[in-house]
Every structure is written in structure tokens, then in C-alpha cells.
Structure 1
């Protein structure tokens, strides 16, 4: 089998996918691959194995063991949510709010692989950041990435902030917000359901976090589902938050920044 034959097999899932998989398999650049298309494909059985893993529903990021986020490579794997590009907007919003404080005290609920807390810590040298998760798998990857980027964040196994004391300037979260009956493809279904499903309706965990933030934070910054703006706006109003919503690059509602008028 030549390199071009392997690429043609993988192009079932798109041209970009084929080259990414080949680059990973050969540990060569795309330019090198273009110049060697007719070369024999080294370890072709291993390449077919990688392709079969993807066909069977294993996300590319799990196969690679990493995912790019805000220009940095974070380690990911089974049991942890794969970072999405739209979460970069969440961090941009958090940095805007954090600039109001000299040494912001920040809590993240649901740290996952650590992309949010680590990205904030790299930009906010004076911040005190505590991050929680109920998943030991997620905390394992958060610890790996924390050490990789050498940031000072405290990682705690906890449901919400149950094992964390004190109040915060900012609570931030990209919580599960998908409804239980929402159809998902097999690659997304390979990710942990506890990081995806927010309840029967989908907004239940978001509402829990709003309730918690009411007594413990000046600002709450959350990602949410594209169809949850009305639900979130009504609930935030009910608890006396002043809220602003933002959209992703596709123009879909994607999150909110809420100021706790009672704090």
C-alpha cells in the first residue's frame, strides 16, 4: 500500500481528516507527505488500525491524545470532555471581567482537562484559581496539563463547590447542558455523559450553578446550549442577576456573563 492509497481510504471522512491521520501515523509534515505520495506506507497495519478506531467512534483527539486549544496542546483521553473552539470565547469573557480585580479569586466548576483554569492562570498571574470536578479521570488529565504548563491552580474532587470554602469574584463553568434525549453522533457519545448531559431538559445543572453563585460569587460566566437563552435569562432575572449573552462564530447563543447585584 502506498501513502496515497492510505490517504484515499481515510478520505471517506474528509480530506483534512485523512492528512491529519497520516501526519500522526508517519510523524511527518503535510509537505513531506505531498512529496512522498507514491512511497510505500510504513506500518500500514497500524494505519488501518487507527482508521478503524475512528470508524468505530473513537474521536480523533483521543487517538492523538491531545487537542489544540487557544494555540496550546492539551492532553486528553478517554473519560474527559474534548475541548471545543467556542469555549475560547468563554475565556475571553472571563479575562474581561477578571481585569476589574487586582487579584481575582476564581472558581471553575467542572474542570475537565483543565483548559479553562489553565488558560486563565497563564494570563492572570495574580489570580487565585480553584477548580473542581466529580470525575477522577478528568482530574487526572487536569493535573497532567497543570504540570505541563506549570500553573498554580488548586484541583479538588468535588460536586459543584461542595468541598470548597469561601466566596469568589468569579465562578466560571462549561457545564453539561445537553438534553437527555438529544441525538448525538457516535464520536460525541464516546465522551463522558457526565460532561455532556445536563438533565432531562438540559438546563438543570446550569440552574444549580446559578443558585450556588447567588450566594458565593460577584460574577458568573457560563457556556450554555444554543436554545437556552430564554430559560437562562428568566432564571437569572429571577435570582436578581444582571446578564449579558454572547454568541459563537456561527451566530448561535453560546453563553452568558452575569453580575450578582446582591454581591
Structure 2
């Protein structure tokens, strides 16, 4: 089997997937692969095994143990949410708000692999950042990525901010916001449900975080589901927030920046 034959097998799931899997298998760049398409495929049985793992529902990011976010390669694996491109918008919104403060105090609820807090720490050198998660596995990956990038982020095992004292300029979160009965494909179902499912309706955890932020933050910045704008807008208004919602690249409602008028 030649390299081009292996790529043809994997193209069932798209050309980008095929090349990413081949790059991982060979440990070579895409440019190298283009120049060696007719070479014999090294350890072809192992490549087929990788392809079958994906066919069985294991996400590509778990297989390769990497995911790109804001131009950086983060380490991910089984037991942690896979970063999505849409969350880059969340980080950009937080950077814009954080620059209103000389030394912003930021708390993240649900750090996962650490992409949000680490990205903020690398962009905001004067920020003080603490991040929590209830998952030991997630915190393991966050620590790996924190050390990889040398990011100044405090990581704490905690439900919400229960183990953290004080108030913050910004609370940020990409919490679980999918409704329990929402149909998901087998690759997404391989990710931890605790990081995906927000409750029967889906916005329950978002609302819990908003209640915390009412007393502990000047700004609340969150990602949310595409169908949650109206209920969250009404709820934030009830709590005394002035909110602005943003869309993702597909034009779907994807998150909000809320200013706490009481702070």
C-alpha cells in the first residue's frame, strides 16, 4: 500500500482528516507527504488500526493527543472536552474586556484542557488568573498544558468557585450547555458528558454561573447554545446584568458579555 492509497481510505471522512491522520502516523509534515505520495506506506497495519479507532467513534484529537487553538497546539485526550474553534471568539471577547483593567482578576469556571485560561494568560501578562474544574482528569491536562506554555494560571479542584475566595473583574466560562435529550454523534459522545450536558433544558449550569457572578464579578463572559439567547438575556436582566450577545462564524448565537450593573 502506498501513502496515496492510505489517504484514499481515510478520505471517507474528508481530506483534512486524512492528511491529519497520515501526518500523525508518519510523523511528517503535509508538505513531505505531498512529495512522497507514491512511497510505500510505513507500518500500514498500524495506520489501518488508527483509522478503525476513528470509525469506532474515537475523536481524531484523542488519537493524536493534540488540538490547535488560537495558533497553539494543546495536549488533549480521553476525559477532557475537545476545544472548538468557536471558543476562540470567547477568548477574544474576554481579552477586549480585560484590557479595560490594568491588572485584571479573572476566574474561569470549568477549565477543561486549559485552553481559555492559558490563552488569556499568554495574551494578558498582567492578569491574575485562577481556574477551576470538578474533574481530576481535566485538571491533569490543564496542568500539562500550563507547563508546556509556561502560563501563569492557578488551577483548583472545585465545584464552580466554591473553593475560591474573593471577587473578580471577569468570570469566564464555556460550561456544559447541551440539553440532555439533544442528539449527538458518536464522536462527541466519546467526550465526557459532564463537560457537555448542561441539564434537562441545557442552560441550568449557565444560570448557576450567572447567579455566582452577580455577587462576585464585574463582567461575566460565557459561551452558550445557539438557542439560548432569549432565556439567558431575560435571566441576566433579572439579575441586574446588561448583556451583549455575539454570534459564531455560522451566524448562530454563541455567547455573551454581561456587565454587572451592581458592581
Pair in the same fold by TM > 0.5 = yes
RMSD over aligned Cα atoms: 0.8
Shift of 1:46: 0.6
Shift of 1:218: 0.5
Asked if residue 31 in structure 1 is aligned to residue 31 in structure 2, the reply is: yes
- Corresponding residue for residue 113 of structure 2: 113
Kindly provide the CA deviation profile for residues 210-238 of structure 1, in whole angstroms up to 9, marking residues without a partner as x: 00000000000000000000010010011
Shift of 1:100: 0.9
Shift of 1:29: 2.1
- Corresponding residue for residue 55 of structure 1: 55
Instruction: Please give the residue correspondences for 1:1-263 in structure 2 after superposition, counting only pairs within 5 Å.
Output: 1-263=1-263
SS in 2 for 1:116: helix
TM-score (norm 2): 0.99
Count residues with an aligned counterpart: 263
- Stretches of structure 1 that go unaligned for 5 or more consecutive residues are none
- Separation (CA, whole Å) in 2 of partners of 1:33 and 1:97: 43
- Separation (CA, whole Å) in 1 of partners of 2:126 and 2:45: 50
SS in 2 for 1:108: strand
Shift of 1:60: 0.4
Kindly provide the CA deviation profile for residues 113-144 of structure 1, in whole angstroms up to 9, marking residues without a partner as x: 00000000001111110000000000000000
- Separation (CA, whole Å) in 2 of partners of 1:35 and 1:153: 42
Kindly provide the CA deviation profile for residues 83-122 of structure 1, in whole angstroms up to 9, marking residues without a partner as x: 0001011011101111111111100000000000000000
Q: Which runs of 4+ in 1 moved over 4 A?
A: none
SS in 2 for 1:88: helix
- Stretches of structure 2 that go unaligned for 5 or more consecutive residues are none
- The range that moved more, 25-34 or 222-231, is 25-34
SS in 2 for 1:230: helix
- Separation (CA, whole Å) in 2 of partners of 1:6 and 1:105: 49
